[in-house]
Every structure is written in structure tokens, then in C-alpha cells.
Amino acid sequence: MILLKKEWQKLAKKLEGLEERPPVARTFVENHARRGDPESVLALLDDFALHHGFLINVGPVKGKLLEEEVEATGKALRILELGCFCGYSAILMAKHLAAAGRVVSVESNGVYAEAAAGIIDFAGLSKRIELIHGHSSQVIPDLDGSFDFVFLDHWKDLYTTDLKAIEEAGLLRKGSVVFADNVGPLFDAEEYLNYVRGCGHFETRHVVSTVEYTDLEDAAEISIYRGA
């Protein structure tokens, strides 16, 4: 417990001033990345996070895992993302999709949403990524159809509530993948982990990793929907 407290203090220090960074990161990307090149945009966001100001992007380590899961699921996917932040993970996922693929990304913070919209446009992926500014609890009931892939990366205490709402709204099909980031020991994710492992609706696995841009322990929970 003492070790976890120290690790959380290290992370909390990095998070100070986070609200102000996405617009600065957007300017950094627009000044240094290649327009229309998603890989260049992602590399510059990584560079910013490592050398200029910590960002809560999924990052290159767990990002590789996310890429692998998206690629394994298919190309013409319909993806739901909760928590867009700077647009990093939306870009990471969208760049692998075929022309028919789409990412619907929900972001409750207006500052983050505006920065993400600019970065996504600069990456040349506005036609594949629909960014919705709103709270997940209000947006989810208005969504229709089904999603092949869901990426949870917003407020951790909303993971369980929002996944249940997604199920109740009929937004999952059998075989849909739910990828939950930041479910490691620092994030108090027991309620969510207990739900996906115990509700009987999912086949799930736990992948140990690190918190973005740090060596702090983290994990992702990757769950396949089998039906209620």
C-alpha cells in the first residue's frame, strides 16, 4: 500500500496542469508534424508527452496492444471510444480502418474536444472519426446500430456504468471487443474487473503493461462480448 501511494503521488505530480496542455500539444503538432500523416502526428504527440508536458494518451506501449486488437478484429469496423482527450487513440485506431470504417469518439471536456478536433483534422482523418462533445451518460442512449470495438479510456469510475448502458442500448453484437485502458493497481478498477469477469457476458483477459509514458505498473482488460 505504501508503494502504491508513492506511485500515485508520482503520477499525480505529472497530471498537474493537464487541462492546459492539449491546446499547446495541438500547436506543437501543427508546427512540427506532417499534415495528413497520422504516424507523424502520433510521433509528435509522443514527443510532446515525453519532453514537453505529460499527456494521458494511450501512448506507444499500450497503443501497440490497442493497434493489434483493432487489426485482429477487422478493417471495416465501427468503433466507439469513450474519452478522446487529444485524439491520439482515435487516430491510432482510425488509421488502420478501411474506407467504410468509422470511429465515434465521445469527449466530455470542451477544451480537450476542441484540441482533438484540430489534431484529427491535421492528421487527415476527420472523415473517419466522428467526435461528439458530451457526457457519455447522455450520448450512449442516443447512439444506434452496433459497434464492433469499444475503447474505454475516460473516467475510470464510469467504466462499469457505461458498459452496462452500452449493453442495455444494444450497441454490442456477439464478438464485439471491449478494450478497457488503465485498469492497473493505481486506478481502483475492481468494480469494473469484477463485472466483466463475473457477469457471464464476456470472455476476458488481463494484460499487464505500464502507465503511458512512465514505468508505473498498469494493465488493460480486453473482453469479447458473448451475449447477455
Q: Which residue has the cell 457526457?
A: 135
End-to-end CA distance of the chain: 36
Residue 152: in which H helix or E strand, if any? strand 147-152
* Sign, Cα dihedral of 90, 92, 95, 101: negative
List, in order, residues 6 or more apart from 96 with CB less than 8 Å away.
67, 70, 71, 75
Find out whether 154 and 120 touch, Cβ atoms under 8 Å: no
What residues act catalytically? 153, 156, 181-182, 212
Largest CA distance in the chain: 49
